Amino acid sequence: MEKIKPLLPSLREKKRYVAFEIVSEKQFSFKQASEAVLDAALKYSGVKGLADMGLIILKEKFKKNKGVMRVCTKYTNSLKASFCLAKNIDKEPMILKSLGVSGVLKKMDKCLAS
């Protein structure tokens, strides 16, 4: 069998990392936070928009209501706009806020530390 060639870098989608924080009195699990983010993005962009975003929430970067997600460059602003639609998690009021955007994952550690 012949091996499949990988995509050239010029043909791959560009990505951005968005650091976010959940402002609330309660600490939430990764599952609760990711469901809230995905639900807000789905309400704002719809199913096709969410699929085009290529949204991935990184589990290993989520601690103390702060985390990092990966998104396609074209949809960074749409993702940040969708944050205003997230009002509560399990009937607990919260605010979803963007801490920073970068093309390099290593820079996100500085955003999460502040």
- Is residue 49 included in any domain, yes or no? yes
Q: Which amino acid is at 32?
A: Q
What was the pLDDT predicted at 109?
85
DSSP letter string, 92-106: EE-EEEEEEEESSGG
- Is residue 46 included in any domain, yes or no? yes
* CATH assignment at residue 93: 3.30.70.3250
- Is residue 92 included in any domain, yes or no? yes
88 phi, psi to nearest 5 deg: -155, 160
- Is residue 72 included in any domain, yes or no? yes
- Is residue 114 included in any domain, yes or no? no
What was the pLDDT predicted at 91?
87
- Is residue 73 included in any domain, yes or no? yes
Distance CA 19, CA 75 (A): 15
**Which residue segment(s) compose the domain that 76 sits in?**
15-103
∠ CA 69-20-106 to the nearest 5 degrees? 60
What was the pLDDT predicted at 31?
93
Contact 18, 104 (CB under 8 A): no
- Is residue 81 included in any domain, yes or no? yes
Number of domains in the chain: 1
Q: What is the pTM of this model?
A: 0.86
Distance CA 52, CA 72 (A): 8
- Is residue 65 included in any domain, yes or no? yes
| DSSP annotation of 10 | T
What was the pLDDT predicted at 11?
87
Contact 108, 102 (CB under 8 A): yes
What was the pLDDT predicted at 35?
92
What was the pLDDT predicted at 46?
93
Q: What is the pLDDT along the chain (114 residues), one digit of tens a residue?
A: 788 888 898 888 899 999 999 999 889 999 999 999 999 999 999 999 999 999 999 999 999 889 999 999 999 999 999 999 888 888 889 999 999 999 998 888 888 887
SS3 (DSSP) at 72: strand
